[in-house]
Structures are given as structure tokens and as C-alpha cells.
Amino acid sequence: MENSLLHNVYNPDVLSCIANLSNDEVFTPPELANKIIDLLPQELFENPDTRFLDPCCKSGVFLREIAKRLIKGLERQIPDLEKRIEHIFSKQLFGIAITELTSLLSRRSVYCSKYPSSPFSAYQFPEDKPQGNIIYQRINHTWKDGKCIYCGASQSEYDRKQELESYAYQFIHNLDVEKVFKMKFDVIIGNPPYQMSDGGGTGDSAKPIYHLFIENAKKLSPKYLTMIIPSRWMKGGKGLNDFRKTMMNDTRIKTIYDFEDAKECFTGLHIDGGVCFFLWDKDYNGKVDYHFKSLDGSTNHSFRFLKCDYSETIIRDFRQSSIIRKASVDKTKFQSIVSARNPYGFNADFFNTPESYPTIKISDGEDKTTIKIYGVKGKKGGAKRVSGYIKEDTISKGYETINQYKLFFSKAYMTTSTVPPEIILGTPKTICTETFLMIGSFKTKSEAENCLSYIKTKFFRALLFYNRHSLNISRESFELIPLQDFTSNSDIRWNSPIDRIDKELYSKYGLDENEINFIESMIRPME
């Protein structure tokens, strides 16, 4: 029956099934792999001398799909199918697996056998090449001060027994690829691992590593480089500032497809900030053919340089460009009054693990020697805001703002939301844990309230939303937002209703009707 369960769920391609599984690694569906391969000049598949490298093989899908195209494209030059397959597998397709398991899976996908020197392989490699051209060798991290010097992995997390995976990926751990394979490559393609635990923060934190694959690939000087990676690098990300600057100034990037929702590429997978794939062409020098798909499903296309004069990050949705440019006329930015992470030296776990702070007693009562501290208590998903009182002399930093008015802005909220969690008005003798960023250091309550009114405007939240890339925001997230005068001398009437303040801000920065409508359609009001 056409509507039977079997008909609805059956998937003839095992790699599609694997890509749809929930797992730690992000496997590439065949359909997506082919879209990425489509970026390449298709004449490459008619050239028997083109060499392809996937330096981060997981399922082998890229090499498998490339093999299909080569088998068809080389039909004229090498009519005999058996000889054509022999040529393709032995001289054109190469891979470096990320783990022992993925090496077996990749060889099974490409060669039809986990052991390509066996008689069951589509092409039988000689016995001295039992891995074929898809190699894997377990190597160890190189530790210094508790972290790997190549990938930044935490020694406490990844210094493992020999029988366990080390996740020391060969391609980014001082592997001389050209020496191993004794050749140069025309095309480097893949879906690299995205992150490693570096043991930082208040627990294990995620350090991006995908950029290391791109940087090492460029060092090999291929004709073409194409990879799919998280889009977070465009706006921020831990340790990605130098990488972003390099990419923004690299005029060899020819094409980018950018998806704000990762589910457009990976079914059922959420990745903060979405994903993108790109084509880097060594001989190209010009603007980027940029395709962007937003969370609401709308698409826009632009042809432009990634770097512009009015933003230190990449403008993904080009419809935002004119708004950001007009707001940039004010050179003093709101981020100048936003604190760095952990403004008072109390970690996010302060209320959850008071035993970690044996010299500090949290009380419910206030007296002349105490100050109020805001934080959260409970596990992720069920954490609630709480407060308590501690002795003022236990504070390690941030003394200069203790007796000022300020705002406490939650460091975390959904990337898809344009409305932040409730903002706390901090009076004198109040501080916060690492859960919040501290905004301002105001002499009067009215200045703090005026700043809060600004934050509630659609204008402010649109510019913040345009620059967000992950669940956690930082001081840099506010760099597109112009700073205002919150005193009684301001050119904005802060005691007006929020929608009236928005109109004044739209007028101040010369936004036209289309720009206003764009903001109004995307940013919902705050209560």
C-alpha cells in the first residue's frame, strides 16, 4: 500500500539514514553533499588528473558521490569500467578519517568493503595498502599546560587509554599531508568536526576547531576548497576573531550558501547560528555570490565583499545592511557600557555549589555590611532566578559600580528570540553572578530606567539580533548598537511609550519606510 509505514519511512541510502540519526558527529546527508559538490566546476569530473581530498571523512559520502561523477565523467577517456574504477580509486580519491570507526564506514561506502585489499573491494588495493587511500592512524594530543597545542583540547578530558579514541584529528595535528600521499590536491572538500571540550569556563566548554581544518587546507594550496561549517564564525565564537578577519578579507571566496536554521541542511539538528558552505577558488579575486536563508524561510541574494566599513562582523542577511550602515554614524557604541564576562568574580554556579565558596555565607537578610547578589539556581532547563545577601568585603572585583545604578542583562537566551529575559534594575549595593552581563554605571535611577527603555525598543533589539550567533551573548554582541545620552539632556524623550521612542530613533537615524517595516515585521514588542 502506498501509504504504508514502510513506504513512508524507508530510505534506500544507508548514508541518508546515518545522517538522520542523533549522534555526536554531524554526518552529511548525500543530498547535501551533492549540493556542495555542485559548487565545483563540473569539468573537474571529466579530468583524469583531478585529485580530491576529504581530510575529515565520517561516512565517506563526499568521496562516494565524487566517485559517481567521475565514473560518468571519465567514460570517454577510460571506456573500460573496471579500468576506470581502478584509476579513480587509486589515483583521484583520497581521505583522512577522523576516527577508526569512521575509517571503516568510509571505506565501506567508497570501496564497498571495510578492507579494500580484500577480494570484496570494488577495487582491490595491494596488500601493502590495507587502508586503500582512506587512511586513519591513532595519534595522541601534544599537551602543554593542560591543553593540546594543536587543537586546544582539554588534557583532563582527552588524555585517554590507548584503546579509546583520542579525537586527535590527524589533519590538524601536524600531519604532512603532501608527504603522506606524495602529491598535491586540486580539491579539498568535507564536513569537519565542529568543536572540542577545552575544559574552560565553569565546566567543560566547547572550543571551535572547524576553522583549523580550513586553515590547514589553505596551506596545501588546492585549486578549490569547499566545506560545510557552523555560521557562528561570521559573528563571534570562541577563538574565532582572527579566523573571521582572515575570511572577511579573503577575496578568493567565490560563493557562500548560509542557512540561519541548521535544519535546512541537517534534519532534526539545532546548531546555534545555523550553518553555511562555501567555495574558495585559488584563482578567483572578487565579490562573494552570497545566498542567505533566514529563520522565517525567506531568502535573499547579494553579490558583495564580506568586509564592509560599518561592521566588524559579516552581515548575513543583506536586508539588514542599510539599517546597520545608518546606525553606524554614531561611533560610540553601546558595548562601551557593557561589562565583560563575570563582572564581579562570582561564577554561574555560585548558588548551586555554595560549598565551593567556603569563606562566603549566603543569607536571606540584609544589613549594613551586606550587598544583594542576583544569580540562578537549578539545572539547565529548570534553573530559576534567585538572590541572596553576602558580605561586601567578599567581593573580588567590580567595586567601582557597587554603589551605582545598573542593569543586569541575562547572558543566555534563545538565538531565535528577539525578546531577552526580564532585565533586572540594579540599585546601589547590588551585584550579579556570571549569569548576567552588567550594563552601565549610572548616577541616577532615571538614567538606568532610560537605558532600560532603550533596550526595550525594536530598534535596539533588531541591532542586537542582527549580531547574535549563539545562546550566550557577550559585550561584542552589542557592537552594532549606537550609545545614547540617557540624561535629561538627551535628544530622545525616554519617558515616552516605547513605540514613540522607536519612532524617534527611526527618525534620528534616517530609516526609510522599507527599513522600518523590516524591523517591525521581525521584532515583536516587549511587555
Mean pLDDT of 464-485: 90
Which cell goes with 240? 574565532
Higher pLDDT: 22 or 279? It is: 279
Q: Residue 14 has what pLDDT?
A: 53
Between 93-107, 156-170, 481-495, the lowest mean confidence (pLDDT) is in: 156-170
Residue type, 120: F
- All domains in the chain, ordered by first residue: 5-53+63-97+132-137+175-316 (3.40.50), 334-522 (no CATH)
* Residue 214 per-residue DSSP state: H
Question: Which DSSP letter does residue 123 get?
Answer: S
Total H helices, total E strands in the chain: 15, 19
* Higher pLDDT pick, 153 / 291: 291
When pLDDT is averaged across residues 129-136 and rounded to a whole number, the result is 94
Cα 406 from Cα 522, distance rounded (Å)? 28
Confidence of residue 172 (pLDDT cuts 50, 70, 90): very high
pLDDT of residue 83 exceeding 50, the answer is yes
- In percent, the amount of the chain with pLDDT more than 70 equals 93
Residue 185's pLDDT is what? 97
Q: pLDDT by residue (tens digit) across 173-220?
A: 988 888 888 899 999 999 999 988 776 544 445 789 999 999 999 999
pLDDT in tens, 39-74: 999 999 999 999 999 999 999 999 999 999 999 999
Grid coordinates representing 17 are 539514514
Q: What is the mean pLDDT of the chain?
A: 90
> What pLDDT was estimated at residue 21?
46
Q: Which helix (H) or strand (E) holds 121?
A: none
Sign of the Cα pseudo-torsion (291, 293, 297, 299, in order): negative
Predicted pLDDT of residue 78:
97
How far does the chain reach from its first CA to its final CA, in angstroms? 52
Q: Range with the lowest mean pLDDT among 162-166, 273-277, 287-291, 482-486?
A: 162-166
CA distance 476 to 26: 28
Task: List, in sequence order, the alpha helices (H) in 10-154.
Answer: 14-19, 30-37, 61-73, 81-91, 100-111
- Residue labelled with grid coordinates 516605547: 498
Share of the chain above pLDDT 90, in %: 73
Buried b (16+ CB within 10 A) or exposed e, 409-436: bbbbbebeebebeebbebeeebbbbbbb
Q: How far apart are the C-alpha atoms of 6 and 303, rounded to whole Å?
A: 45
Which amino acid, residue 414? Answer: M
pLDDT beyond 90 at 451: yes
pLDDT digits (tens, 9 = 90+) for 283-312: 999 999 999 999 889 999 999 999 998 998
pLDDT digits (tens, 9 = 90+) for 90-114: 999 999 999 999 999 999 999 999 9
Buried b (16+ CB within 10 A) or exposed e, 358-382: eeeeeeeeeeeebbbbbbbbeeeee
Q: Is the pLDDT reported for residue 4 higher than 70?
A: no
Q: In the prediction, which pLDDT does 16 show?
A: 58
Instruction: Average the pLDDT over each of 277-286, 375-384, 400-409, 501-510 and give the range with the smallest value.
Output: 375-384
pLDDT grade for 413, boundaries at 50, 70 and 90: confident
| pLDDT value, residue 269 | 86
Q: What is the pLDDT at residue 7?
A: 41
**The three grid cell numbers given for residue 412, joined into one nine-digit string:** 543566555
SS3 247: helix
Instruction: Please identify which residue in the block is written with the cell numbers 541548521.
Output: 262
pLDDT in the model for residue 415? 73
Q: Could you tell me the pLDDT band of residue 517, with boundaries at 50, 70 and 90?
A: very high
Selected residue with higher pLDDT from 112 and 26: 112
pLDDT for 469? 77
Question: What's the mean pLDDT in 479-497?
Answer: 96
